[in-house]
Structure 1
Amino acid sequence: MKNNKSVGVLFEQALNKKFESSISKKYKDNLRQVYNHFMEFLGSEAYSTPLKKLKTSQIEEFLKRYNSSATHYMNKRRDLNVLFNTACKSIDVNLQSVKRTESRRIKATLNLAYEKEQLKPVLEYLKGSHTNLYRCCLITYGCLLRSHEEIRLLTKKHFKANNTEIHLAGNENKGGRVRVVYVPDYVRQELDPVLDEIKRDDNIFSGKLRPFNNSYFTKQWNRERIKLLSHGVIYPKQTLYSFRHTAAIDIFRRTKDVYMVQKMMGHSSVVVTLKYLRSLGEFNSEELEAAAPKLW
């Protein structure tokens, strides 16, 4: 009977099902990793224990491996729960074994936005030090795209309307919807010569069909970050993502239009945008409360 299928069989089926969906490569890697580690942890029990017999205490013992931080622990707990819930659906049961494990509060970490007077020195340094990283940061700021899974994979064919627009399909951006992004003049001036030299399917950074690996920009930034910090050009909490945060703040301060920020950031809802801006210190809960409409 299907209800007696083992943890190992059902988790393997769940992993394959998630791989068939339109989730990002990074998400797939995370699911595969937690699957491999959990199967290793269970050992021979993985294929002899029915899913319904899997105990919360076993799962808690497994999650202790990830006690280095609350974020690490909760990320693994979340990924394991995704596989567990998918496995439960395949046998039409609703089990709470993972949800009953300890939940830990993650402390929010702020990627500090750049101050206006910092932008030019940072970008000028990168332009002279690492051309690809400079272009990535410029696109992150000017087009508000995400560096690793959106910008890194850009090819010539993504650029439309005389290179004034970037068109991303639903499976090419985090929002999961078709997205059209405006390309400012300062970004286009940098990219036009590059786009003129490559073929339609070539990646704009590698100049070839195959893009750089998914950790490419992270590694390049970490190298340059040490020098930028030593020269006092950036602060410790300023990161590659800070270019996107800085752009969001700039748009909001100039327009005071949350919906415009939502559209340009590609957020799924204005609630996400409000949380995003609040985390960047643009306004707090008291300000939101004060701005709420009054009945009388």
Structure 2
Amino acid sequence: MSSELPADCTAILFKQALNKKLHSDLSKKHKNSLTRLYNRFMEFLGDEGRAQPLTSLTTPIIEKFLEQFSSSATHYMNKRRDLGVLFNSASRIIDVNLLTVKKTEPQRIKAKLHQAYEKEQLQPVLDFIKAFHKNLYRCCLLTYGCLLRPHEEVRLLTRKHFKADFTEVHLGGRENKGGRVRMVYVPDYVRAEMECSLSLLRRDDNIFSGKSIPYNESYFSRQWSRAKKELISHGLIYPNQTLYSFRHSAAINVFRRSKDVYLLQKMLGHSSVVVTLKYLRSLGEFNSDELRDAAPIL
């Protein structure tokens, strides 16, 4: 069909835009998200819409497409962002600055407080997980002790990532969300759990699967889903505490002890201190008493 369509038609330009993104340094998760949105948008346009020039797409058309993602502001804005990525890439191919997606009505996302684990919760939760879910326990330790992201950075760790007698983890720019080379310290309690099994692995073996191929993207999501039901039934966690809460808890622990937001930025692997400040605010770390005490006086 593409050979019968003009070069500036939406179908051809969007396909070229998607291919560019699929061959870029974006994460696999983001690429999959863009692919799904591309398929939905092409289906929405139909044969006639796909054959139209890209410049004929209007903001009302885009808003009508985005209406189907209005179940939540977060869902809507994520799809709006992904469509904007493809639209901008396609418009650059024809060297025309189109603001069609940017002019659509945004939805305001309400900030959510991620509930970290309370100090007295942390050890009982870890002990319970250790007794029944070995790989999940190690994931929780690495998420907390090294402040690594569980579903990507931790899940994909191999023997070669551990350096200096297992006291450090080194990640390349393509191996972490921040996009920069990252080195994290491995605390003694993490090293004590991991050292024996790491010494038995080959350089490229994944630390959880024991093979060169890691478990799939949903591996720890499924593990946590099963464990969470047990943890809640035993009164060990609250419903809105998650696997990511270990990273949140670690961030709060580091900040409260150091009061150094720049140190925390490095440990979290954030691209800028602004991201870290937003992270702390979303955790509710800046409360009204702290703001009151820090307010300027006359």
Quick check: TM above 0.5?
yes
Structure 2 matches for 1:234-245, cutoff 5 A? Answer: 234-245=237-248
- Give deviations 1:150-189, integer Å, cap 9, x for gaps: 0000000001001100000000000000001100011011
Q: Which residue of 2 aligns with 1:181?
A: 184
In structure 2, distance between residues paired with 1:288 and 1:45 = 57
Q: Which residue of 1 aligns with 2:126?
A: 123
TM-score (norm 1): 0.94
Q: Which residue of 2 aligns with 1:261?
A: 264
Contact 2:155 2:215 in 1 (8 A): yes
Q: Which residue of 2 aligns with 1:65?
A: 68
Contact 1:4 1:51 in 2 (8 A): no
In structure 1, distance between residues paired with 2:154 and 2:116 = 19
Q: Would the alpha carbon gap of residues 293 and 24 (structure 1) be closer, same or farther in structure 2, given more than 3 Å must change?
A: farther
Contact 2:166 2:195 in 1 (8 A): yes
One-letter identity of the residue aligned with 1:232: G
In structure 2, distance between residues paired with 1:276 and 1:65 = 29
In structure 1, distance between residues paired with 2:128 and 2:63 = 47
Q: Which residue of 2 aligns with 1:113?
A: 116
Q: Which residue of 1 aligns with 2:221?
A: 218
Matched, 1:43 2:27: no
Deviation, 1:66, is 1.1
Q: Which residue of 2 aligns with 1:271?
A: 274
Contact 2:173 2:182 in 1 (8 A): yes
Q: How many residues align?
A: 294
- Give deviations 1:52-103, integer Å, cap 9, x for gaps: 0012222111112112111111111110111001111111111111112221
Contact 1:110 1:237 in 2 (8 A): no
Instruction: Report runs of 4+ in structure 1 exceeding 3 Å deviation.
Output: 284-294
Deviation, 1:289, is 8.5
Greater mean deviation of Cα atoms: 232-241 or 40-49? 40-49
Contact 1:19 1:28 in 2 (8 A): yes
In structure 1, distance between residues paired with 2:293 and 2:57 = 49
Q: Which residue of 2 aligns with 1:194?
A: 197
In structure 2, distance between residues paired with 1:4 and 1:204 = 48
Q: Which residue of 1 aligns with 2:160?
A: 157
Identity %: 66
TM-score (norm 2): 0.94
Matched, 1:139 2:145: no
Q: Which of 85, 90, 93 is matched with 2:96 structurally? A: 93
In structure 2, distance between residues paired with 1:114 and 1:184 = 19
In structure 1, distance between residues paired with 2:288 and 2:26 = 33
Contact 1:166 1:182 in 2 (8 A): yes
- How large is the RMSD of aligned CA atoms in angstroms? 1.9
Deviation, 1:47, is 3.5
One-letter identity of the residue aligned with 2:284: G
In structure 2, distance between residues paired with 1:134 and 1:150 = 15
